[in-house]
Amino acid sequence: MQQGPSLDAFVLLKRLAMGAMSEVFLAEVKGVVGPDRLVALKRMRPEVAGDEAWVRQFLDEAHLSTLLNHPFLARLRTYGQQDGLLFLVFEYVHGLTLAQLLEARRAAGLGPLPWAHAVRIATYVSECLGYLHALRGREGQPLGLVHRDIHPGNIMIADTGAVKLLDFGIARRTGRLTETQPGRVKARLEYAAPEQLREAPLDERTDVHGLALTLHELLSGVQPLRRDNPVRTMEAVMKEVPRGLGAVRPAVPEAVQRSVTAALAKQPAQRPSLMELRTSLDQALRAGAPLVGLPELAELVAPWLPGSGRLPWSQDRAREIPTVTHTADLSHPPRNTKG
């Protein structure tokens, strides 16, 4: 990595999140005034700085971030290293992740998101994924990019209502410095697609599955495949079909219910394409849903934004659960468990 700015150019104000590989801080750029003075600084954790595999994964994210330019992505401003610690500097997005928003609404007794808001968010994320899947490298070569870690903790709603897709630390693409080792699953298990656990080839339909699971959770208020231990969660991902949305949220239009169910098919070939899913969701919105755009999404998160004094969680609890690389014997499907 080329030498960029020093960490001494930034004042770390507050830790925003911590994962297995890195931690994210709200930081201030010294000597800068105006809104650009605040940034999100993602720094490698000292505990993993000497691990070559983690270093390469961090470099993969840095190299990919230099190629990305889309309104639904947080913009990379610069990157560098100091004392063996690599760091990335992104634009700061003042807002909440969908995971934080769901938690805040539960604590306030409000339930899941209004269906039109949830579907509008999903259409925006699908637009961003379409950009990513079609992305080419600097020489014009297809990158075959798959995010493979779509879940509510990696999608943010800004105070402006803008939707931002986050965290490309485990994104799969052609030319990565690191490849997933056999028997290791890089994802949060309850949001993984079956083909990730089978170690089968991944493509855009893996992200279709992740987006559908996220939309299911936004509409139902529960994660449909999470179980009480990793083995049971893996079994649910591989075999169980999530309960239909109509049973838990009858007000959701049938067209949306059918789209989500189809996108959660266990076999990738049976899922709609990303464009088909986006089209069906957009048609459902056009068929009589209330108007939902940036102002309405901004209104959705405004009561719980940091600084409003109404956050239901403590500063320590504000950390996102890190994406976990699970090591398991995936050569055989999980055996049935009772109880």
At 9-60, the pLDDT tens digits run 999 999 988 877 789 999 999 988 887 899 999 998 888 877 887 888 888 8
The residues that are catalytic are 149
pLDDT at 329: 43
- Provide the phi-psi class of 124: left if phi over 0, else alpha when psi is between -120 and 50, else beta: alpha
Q: Are 143 and 175 in contact (CB under 8 A)?
A: yes
Question: What's the pTM?
Answer: 0.84
Min mean pLDDT across 20-24, 147-151, 153-157 is at 20-24
* 262 pLDDT more than 60: yes
Beta-carbon contacts of residue 132 (< 8 Å; ≥ 6 apart): 68, 70, 145, 147, 171
d(CA 251, CA 243): 15
pLDDT at 214: 97
Domains of the chain, CATH where assigned: 7-91 (3.30.200.20), 95-309 (1.10.510.10)
More confidently predicted of 86 and 171: 86
Of the pLDDT bands very low, low, confident and very high (cuts 50, 70, 90), residue 161 is very high
Of the pLDDT bands very low, low, confident and very high (cuts 50, 70, 90), residue 137 is confident
Of the pLDDT bands very low, low, confident and very high (cuts 50, 70, 90), residue 170 is low
Cα 245 to chain centroid, rounded: 22
